[in-house]
């Protein structure tokens, strides 16, 4: 051990001379070495005394000079009231008073939902009517409506900033229709930028058909209203048609009608009994619909994996009119309440259940606007509590995938 600091403990009795004779006998019987004047004087010389004892009482001229380097001293002192430090503190105070302290951007919502901290550069994307991230679609060519073209703007980012600006003079035609056309100077492609909730009107204005497939209503509604094939009651043997029973027929020529030696003689060992084909209990339409439902159930794990890899801020888009009263009688009203949501967390806040997100992703009603998650999914584990309802859903999905 090399250094200036040490800490050793000696188990001894400094007032050994005050011990009684009875105490000495107990100590000797226990084998404890009792100290004496010789052993105590020797103990005081085992370790050197601290340096403070050497200079105590000496004149200032005889005391040792302080160390030249700060590393040679046993301590270091940084003054907090030197002129240089006070000058730097004044400059820092003046700078931050002029700039102002940064504050986290939180989303206003119900008190039951924990406030979400967002990035500062994404603050202008919240609570706006025009957003170039997902409120747009590609036009096939130059539009016929010239009054809806933003001529002086060459990209969608500048177009969204212009349309959202409080002092911008937006043309009246764009304000009334809720959409505009922009020619990108980089891709040389025409884009339609529409206001929140005006996608259908923008498609009609620019005469563009929606590329998403329309839901099948007739067969789907009939299948949901009918009883599943597995739960149907099988027909009784008395009422069952003869063609549905397991009939035993000869594969060759029919045997004789009587029961006797002649009938036995006419039968041939080569004539084997076979079973007639059983009639199917479901129609072709019901079988096709059952296969579709089966394929969606098999794809459920893939949908859960995609949703588990996302965060609550993942931007999504639900198909308008994806569920109707005829096709989805049980979930139609709930879908109408959350299909305008822009993120997964917002969909849950508007009434969507975790199972609804999985089903919508399987059925193609839910599409991701971002190609990748907007942030790396937060690792949830240990005693840490999830900060949002979507994080809790991710925990349950991950547990289900781990048990599968």
Those residues of the chain that have pLDDT short of 70 are 1-14, 47-76, 104-126, 210-299, 371-387, 404
303-332-287-355 Cα dihedral, nearest 10 degrees: 30
> Strands 105-106, 117-118: parallel, antiparallel or unpaired by DSSP?
antiparallel
| pLDDT score at 211 | 47
Per-residue pLDDT, 182: 93
Give the whole-angstrom CA distance, residue 397 versus residue 373: 17
CA distances from 347 to 198, 284, 299, 391 (A): 19, 37, 22, 13
Residue 144's nearest CA partner among 107, 106, 190, 99 is 190
CB atoms within 10 A of CB 387: 16
pLDDT at 84: 92
Give the per-residue pLDDT at 282: 44
C-alpha 339/C-alpha 95 separation (Å) is 47
What pLDDT, on a 0 to 100 scale, did the predictor assign at position 83? 92
Bridge partners, residue 149, by sequence: 181
The pLDDT score that the predictor gives to residue 252 is 46
According to DSSP, the β-strands at 316-318 and 248-250 are: unpaired
Residue 72 has what pLDDT? 64
Strands (E) in 216-299, as ranges, are 248-250, 273-275
**Burial (0-12, 13-18, 19+ Cβ within 10 Å), 133:** middle
User: What pLDDT was estimated at residue 323?
Assistant: 86
Short-list 295, 278, 304, CA closest to 361: 304
Q: Half-sphere exposure of 338 toward its Cβ, with a 13 Å CA cutoff?
A: 22
Token pair of 146, please? 């010239």
Query: Do the beta carbons of residue 342 and residue 134 sit within 8 Å?
Result: yes
At residue 368's C-alpha, the angle toward residues 363 and 373, to 5°, is 135
**What is the reported pLDDT for 290?**
42
pLDDT, residue 276, reads 52
The model carries a pTM of: 0.29
Burial of residue 351 (number of CB atoms within 10 Å: 0-12, 13-18, 19+)? middle
Q: Which two tokens stand for residue 186?
A: 């980089």
């Amino acid at each position: 051990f090399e250094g200036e600091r040490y800490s050793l403990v000696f188990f001894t009795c400094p007032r050994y001379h005050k011990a009684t004779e009875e105490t000495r006998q107990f100590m000797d019987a226990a084998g404890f070495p009792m100290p004496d004047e010789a052993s105590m004087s020797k103990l005081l010389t085992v370790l050197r005394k601290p340096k403070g004892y050497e200079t105590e009482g000496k004149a200032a001229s005889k005391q040792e000079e302080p160390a030249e380097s700060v590393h040679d001293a046993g301590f270091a002192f940084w003054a907090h009231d030197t002129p240089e430090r006070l000058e730097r503190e004044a400059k820092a105070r003046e700078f931050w008073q002029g700039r102002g302290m940064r504050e986290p951007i939180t989303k206003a919502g119900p008190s039951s939902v924990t406030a979400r901290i967002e990035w500062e550069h994404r603050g202008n994307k919240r609570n706006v009517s025009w957003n170039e991230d997902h409120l747009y679609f590609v036009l096939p060519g130059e539009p016929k409506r010239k009054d809806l073209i933003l001529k002086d703007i060459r990209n969608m980012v500048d177009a969204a900033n212009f349309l959202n600006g409080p002092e911008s003079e937006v043309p009246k035609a764009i304000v009334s229709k809720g959409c505009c056309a922009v020619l990108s100077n980089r891709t040389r492609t025409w884009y339609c930028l529409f206001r929140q909730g005006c996608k259908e009107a923008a498609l009609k204005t620019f005469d563009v058909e929606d590329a998403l497939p329309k839901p099948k209503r007739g067969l789907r509604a009939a299948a949901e209203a009918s009883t599943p094939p597995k739960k149907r009651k099988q027909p009784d043997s008395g009422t069952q048609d003869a063609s549905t029973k397991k009939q035993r027929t000869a594969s060759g020529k029919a045997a004789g009608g009587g029961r006797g030696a002649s009938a036995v003689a006419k039968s041939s060992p080569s004539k084997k009994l076979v079973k007639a084909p059983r009639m199917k209990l479901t129609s072709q339409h019901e079988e096709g619909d059952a296969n579709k439902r089966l394929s969606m159930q098999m794809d459920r794990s893939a949908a859960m994996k995609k949703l588990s890899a996302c965060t609550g801020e993942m931007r999504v888009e639900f198909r308008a009119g994806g569920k109707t009263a005829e096709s989805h009688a049980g979930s139609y009203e709930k879908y109408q309440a959350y299909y305008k949501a822009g993120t997964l967390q917002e969909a849950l806040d508007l009434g969507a259940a975790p199972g609804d997100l999985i089903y919508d992703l399987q059925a193609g009603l839910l599409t991701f606007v971002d190609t990748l998650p907007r942030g790396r999914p937060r690792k949830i584990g240990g005693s840490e509590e999830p900060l949002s309802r979507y994080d809790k859903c991710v925990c349950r999905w991950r547990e289900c995938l781990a048990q599968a």
